[in-house]
Amino acid sequence: MKEKFEAIVIGAGHAGCEAALALARKGHKTLLLTISLDAVAFLACNPSIGGTAKGQLVSEIDALGGEMGKIADKTAIQIRMLNRGRGPAVQSLRAQADKEKYHLEMKKVVENTKNLFLKQAEVVSIEIKGEEKIVRTAVGGEFLAKVVVFATGVYLDSRIIIGSFTENVGPNGFKNAKQLSSSLLNLGYKLLRFKTGTPARINRRSINFNNLEEQKGEEDIQTFSFMTKKKIANKASCYLTYTNLQTHQIILENLDKAPAISGEIKGIGPRYCPSIETKIVRFADKDRHQLFLEPESLSTSEMYIQGFSTSMPAEIQEKMIHSLAGLENAEIMRDAYAIEYDCIDPMQLQPSLESKLHKGLFFAGQINGTSGYEEAAAQGLIAGINAALYLENKDMLILSRSDAYIGVLIDDIVTKGTNEPYRMMTSRAEYRLSLRQDNADLRLTEIGRKVGLVDDKRYKQFLNKKQKLKDIFSLLNQKLKNNQKLIDFFEKNNEKPPKNSISVKEAIKRSNIDAFKINDEFETFKDFDYEIINEMNLIVKYEGYLKQQEEDIQKLKKFESQTIPEDFPYQKQKGLKIETIQKLSEVKPINLGQASRVSGVSPADIAVLGVLIKKYKDEVNAKKRTN
């Protein structure tokens, strides 16, 4: 019997959960299919959320009305701000999450969301009949919907590899999806073969912590979700160790047994998160590599060896681990493994994450060639929003590179593609000073409200924050009197005292003074909390840089406002190089901004393209007037 839904989401990892929640919260009857209920929002690799650039993604997901930030805050057992010693443009929040609780809390949200139906089933094929999509499962189930979101993660025809041992399963030994790749090929999709990996897990009781450097969490820092008001308690520590020459020697002597080196693994691995054997070969001049021991959960003794991913045979893994300081007697509870899987070429997608090949099919997460929970969740949220807008016959939501890290991520993969698992980094975002983690709500809450995912409670809080910022900025022109107290304050902070009274704003701009120090000394901002003072302080400190970046953003927006008709006939255009025509025909950019980022397209090409597009639009409009 065929059961009908408005939307079907295939896969209940981080992308699938966000997509399904977005659809259901917007009022659409949604079926969420997962190969295992135990794999819902499962942290298959490292037990953490956030990290460099990834913390920004999580707060952006939250500001738009997504779920990841709330669950991350609720299940965090340690939290830290990375790159604390560097500028705010590259500071990112990272939390150790309780692996067990994260899965259970997200599953609970999914199970209790109106309009959302969670079901365990392996999808084997999809058929398209007009606007209707038929999704079939291994046990003979058939489900109909107008839109389908593929969020299959690393489960498509996946296999794990440990030395010469291989097994056709997904992460953590979960069942894989054996037949869906063939269905995608039949629908015309180009598939890529990527690989990733995960380190061994060891028993906490077998670690000699006396030989390790403890890394504690930080107190009183912002949370991922702007709705979280309770500070996160640090309940666990991480520990630092290093590889050594003995470790390197063991690896080098056994490279012939390493599938990543020998060629047994055909999939392309992530350049920015390589296996330890790849690191040793690639960085032969380094005597050691940093490793972190991270707790998986408060309910287990398993510890994760961050930075020690490998696919070496189990007996070699044991020798490698036992060569590390503090792990001489480590008990291995789970062997490390590499995993190969199918994914699609993301250049087959629109910036909305809708397929260019078939209307109503959306793709999100690692099936798009990306890596990471955060990158997956970000795509899932956008795919879910746009799938809902598709059902509502509304314009798609497309975030610009100047709007969010999410915009950078999606623009990168759909415009340039990727030949390895794509990872978000702050260096990819040219407007990163404007795209800070602390201001994600100011940038995106209005957008989340417009698409229907920001509820009244969140929006009221957002408006309240905006008013408080307005109030605190009104205090910046107040004068600090030029008296002995002010002189002592400046000298104490290694600043030359002013000759006259000075405004609060000018004082904040001094290198060694900030709003917090002024508040401690003069109580200027005593009526405001940390979040508001910090936001104002950053804006004042970086006012000149932000102004320059805003000018650059306006130039980008001018380019992006020049849209390219979907049916623009590149092949008939004179004045463009053949190579340029081929590349633009493949990508089909939606505006001149995106066209300018297509690999191999020059500024001269864009200048000519702008003229040709205007001419084409004028001709089309003239024909319409004639008719």
Find out whether 260 and 311 touch, Cβ atoms under 8 Å: yes
What dotted CATH number matches 473-546? 1.10.10
CA–CA distance, 52 with 94 (Å, rounded to integer): 8
**Alpha helices, H only, 289-351:** 314-322
Residue 437: the pLDDT is 94
The model's pLDDT over 219-258, given as tens digits with 9 standing for 90+, comes to: 878 899 999 988 899 999 999 999 999 999 999 999 999 8
What dotted CATH number matches 562-626? 1.10.150.570
How far from chain centre, in Å, is Cα 500?
Answer: 49
Name 575's Cβ contacts closer than 8 Å, sequence gap at least 6. 608, 611, 612
Q: Residue 50 has which token pair? A: 């956030």
The model's pLDDT over 114-158, given as tens digits with 9 standing for 90+, comes to: 999 999 999 999 999 999 999 999 999 999 999 999 999 999 999
Residue 91: the pLDDT is 92
**Mean predicted confidence (pLDDT) in 535-539:** 96
Based on the number of CB atoms within 10 Å of its own CB, is 256 exposed (0-12), middle (13-18) or buried (19 or more)? exposed
Which one is predicted more confidently, 293 or 567?
293
Stated as kind and residue range, the H or E segment containing 618 is helix 603-626
Type of residue at 405 = Y
Residue 260: the pLDDT is 73
Name 529's Cβ contacts closer than 8 Å, sequence gap at least 6. none
CA–CA distance, 315 with 186 (Å, rounded to integer): 42
The model's pLDDT over 113-125, given as tens digits with 9 standing for 90+, comes to: 999 999 999 999 9
Residue 1: the pLDDT is 64
Q: Which residue matches tokens 């061994």?
A: 200
Say whether 484 sits in a helix, a strand or coil: helix
Stated as kind and residue range, the H or E segment containing 626 is helix 603-626
How many percent of the chain have pLDDT more than 70? 100
What dotted CATH number matches 201-338? 2.40.30.260
pLDDT band at 196 (very low <50, low <70, confident <90, very high): very high
The model's pLDDT over 39-72, given as tens digits with 9 standing for 90+, comes to: 999 999 999 999 999 999 999 999 999 999 999 9
In the predicted structure, residue 304 carries a pLDDT above the cut 70: yes
Q: Residue 229 has which token pair? A: 């008001």
**Alpha helices, H only, 392-514:** 405-416, 440-451, 456-473, 484-492, 504-508
In the predicted structure, residue 261 carries a pLDDT above the cut 80: no
Backbone angles phi, psi at 480, to 5 degrees: -95, 115
In the predicted structure, residue 379 carries a pLDDT above the cut 80: yes
Q: Specify the range with the lowest mean pLDDT, choosing from 268-272, 286-290, 431-435.
A: 268-272
Find out whether 75 and 51 touch, Cβ atoms under 8 Å: no
pLDDT band at 271 (very low <50, low <70, confident <90, very high): confident
The topology (CATH level 3) of 2-197+341-442 is FAD/NAD(P)-binding domain (3.50.50)
**Mean predicted confidence (pLDDT) in 364-393:** 98
Residue 491: the pLDDT is 96
The model's pLDDT over 427-461, given as tens digits with 9 standing for 90+, comes to: 999 999 999 999 999 999 999 999 999 999 999 99
Residue 176: the pLDDT is 96
Residues linked to residue 92 through DSSP beta bridges, in sequence order: 82
Residue 98: the pLDDT is 98
**Mean predicted confidence (pLDDT) in 559-586:** 91
What is the residue-averaged pLDDT of the chain?
A: 95
Domain boundaries, the chain: 2-197+341-442, 201-338, 473-546, 562-626
DSSP code string of 200-242:
-EEEGGG--GGGSEEE---SS---SSTT--SPPP----EEEEE
DSSP code string of 75-136:
HEEEEEEETTTS-GGG-EEEEEE-HHHHHHHHHHHHHTSTTEEEEE--EEEEEEETTEEEEE
Residue 355: the pLDDT is 98
* pTM to 2 decimal places: 0.95
Residue 85: the pLDDT is 84
The model's pLDDT over 581-622, given as tens digits with 9 standing for 90+, comes to: 999 999 999 999 999 999 989 999 999 999 999 999 998 888
Residue 346: the pLDDT is 97
The model's pLDDT over 451-493, given as tens digits with 9 standing for 90+, comes to: 999 999 999 999 999 999 999 999 999 999 999 999 999 999 9
